[in-house]
Chain A
């Protein structure tokens, strides 16, 4: 009897430890922990022209403080815009309706996140409302394209007068 008791105790603690480990893995190492066991929340939508590589689960922050997460990304085929569903913590329920949402990048090559900047309206965002003022993601590739284009243009400008007036370059020698 005594032996079976210690045996059951051993089995029980092993199983408990195992499930504790799995629980830790599913809630603490992933971004889903907040969604499942999170506090009360409300959802708002925002429409963007271009969301870059914004992913579901990306943080929504205000003055650098995380106030919620992106829960769904959809495409509006009438307006040709990306519809982003934001789940905001109920604790932050005083966000003016004319606040604007922009997509920023964490670090140089980090993931995207949504930053909210407070507006001045007296009414606050509530469940189901929409953020009207949005600013698209800053897409690094298009920026690089623009920089390259301006560089080649600059070079061409520099070379053009040199070719037109070869004597001027000879003089400088």
Chain B
């Protein structure tokens, strides 16, 4: 019993250690990959531009729900004008980065993990090594960097569309005064709120992409192994995102 517990604990520690080691390898290889920017730009397209539609649609609806709920709640206190502030702070600091990262893990993280896992299963990675091409440099690092660059941009787009959605419901439908919606927002939202959101989405970008490429690269080279790597990517990313979100929020407080 105690032996099993000890074993699972050492397994978990070993997994964590190998993730950190993998991240170190990625960072060491980054400068050389930066010289071949076309590889990265292709991955920004794959994980960023292709996620744009789901991000924009989700952002619009999250913003509209915020507008509706915020209006209902604030109306009780007779301060509907604070809707702009409430929706913007909620979106920029929390919902934008977190929901974007969760969607990113589902849309782009799974794609990365299964792509790399399939490369592993069909021996493409070994073939590259045979041709003296480092698969880490040629395949893994561009995908990792693409995700890291795409995430803050996606989160920013999500927040802006969300604010537009809140404005749509609050101002156009519920009749909050447009001037006070924007001016109260401007006076209450500080630059540090926006910085916090950007820092969060950057950290989530590193975490999500790292988990996805790690799971894909070290996937068991079978059909089942690739499937498991994809599932693990989504589950681990979601938990890690929410955990890191708490840490960063506490650090910025």
Contact = CB atoms under 8 A, between A and B. Distances in A.
Contact of A26 (B52, B185, B191): B191
A7 B191 contact: no
A111 B188 CA distance: 9
B115 interface: no
B197 A25 contact: yes
Interface residues of B, number: 32
Q: Is the interface of A mostly helix, strand, loop or mixed?
A: helix
B49 interface: yes
Given A11-B42, A18-B154, A24 B186 contact: no
A92 interface: no
Interface in A102-160: 109, 111
Interface string B190-203: 11011001100000
Given A11-B42, A29-B88, A31-B187, A21 B156 contact: yes
Interface string A20-36: 01101110111111000
Contacts of B38: 4
B240 interface: no
* Most-contacted residue by chain B among A8, A22, A31 (CB, 10 A): A22
Interface of B: 38, 41-42, 44-45, 48-49, 52, 79, 88, 92, 149-150, 152-154, 156-157, 159-160, 163, 185-191, 193-194, 197-198
A-B pairs with lowest CB-CB distance, top 9: A18-B153, A21-B156, A14-B49, A22-B156, A11-B45, A21-B160, A21-B157, A32-B191, A10-B49
